[in-house]
Amino acid sequence: MDWKFLQGLLSGVNKYSTAFGRIWLSVIFVFRVLVFVVAAERVWSDDQGHFDCNTRQPGCTNICYDYFFPISHIRLWALQLIFVTCPSFMVVLHVAYREERERKYRLKHGEDTRLYDNTGQKHGGLWWTYLISLFIKTAFEVTFLYLLHYIYDSFKLPRKVQCDVSPCPNLVDCYISRPTEKTVFTYFMVGASVLCVVLNICEIFYLIAFRVVNLKHRGSAHASSRKMQPLHPDMDCDGCKSSHTS
């Protein structure tokens, strides 16, 4: 898979992200994509070929491997990275939609007019799009962590598994290649995924708190502007006239 293409797409998300979002992107590329491409793929490259069972029954080894590894860690992590990063494109598409509306508005009303002060500013619909994308990313992260633990019953890979699935003649012992190294990488990828979940939750709270503070400031500013207006302008005007006459 060409991960440089994904990196090029996500680089456009960086300029619309908060500080937490930029840290999240760094964790995705440095601790997940880079480790996945450079090291993890090589560790699991010979997974099925070095899965040994103490039997020569034709098909037994393949059936046992498929039983204990219905989907490879590598392919599950690849799907996880794709699903987790795709919601970020919602923000880019929304900004592109705003820019197109801005272009059409200027063509219609002149180049000096503006529909948006900043097409990438997170307010209105873009704020909701950004917040929803965070919830979707968090849901995907938690779902894939659950699937990884559910499929393999643990994040730790055993050294030996026992299989009695047909066509194996009896209870067969099978041995996984490099279980310790694979366990280390599994815990590392799980830890990076948990870190991404924590960053997403922090960013969600940050966006909501920032929005509440802005709304509170707008409400107080609006209330103070109303207090500065005269309650009875006609009476004040009459008073002015009477004083001027006197």
Residue 226 lies in a domain: no
The residue range of the domain holding 114 is 18-213
What's 59's domain CATH number?
A: 1.20.1440.80
Tens of pLDDT, residues 51-63: 888 888 888 888 8
Residue 224 lies in a domain: no
Q: Report the range out of 17-31, 171-185, 191-205 with the highest average pLDDT.
A: 191-205
User: Which pLDDT value is given to residue 241?
Assistant: 43
Q: How many domains does the structure of the chain reveal? A: 1
Residue 148 lies in a domain: yes
How does 164-174 read in b/e, with b if 16+ C-beta sit within 10 Å? eeeebeeebeb
Residue 26 lies in a domain: yes
Q: How far apart are the C-alpha atoms of 5 and 106, rounded to whole Å? A: 33
pTM given for the model: 0.79
Where does the chain have alpha helices with state H?
3-14, 19-26, 34-35, 41-43, 60-68, 73-85, 88-109, 125-152, 179-228, 233-245
Residue 83 lies in a domain: yes
Residue 231 lies in a domain: no
Residue 13 lies in a domain: no
Residue 47 lies in a domain: yes
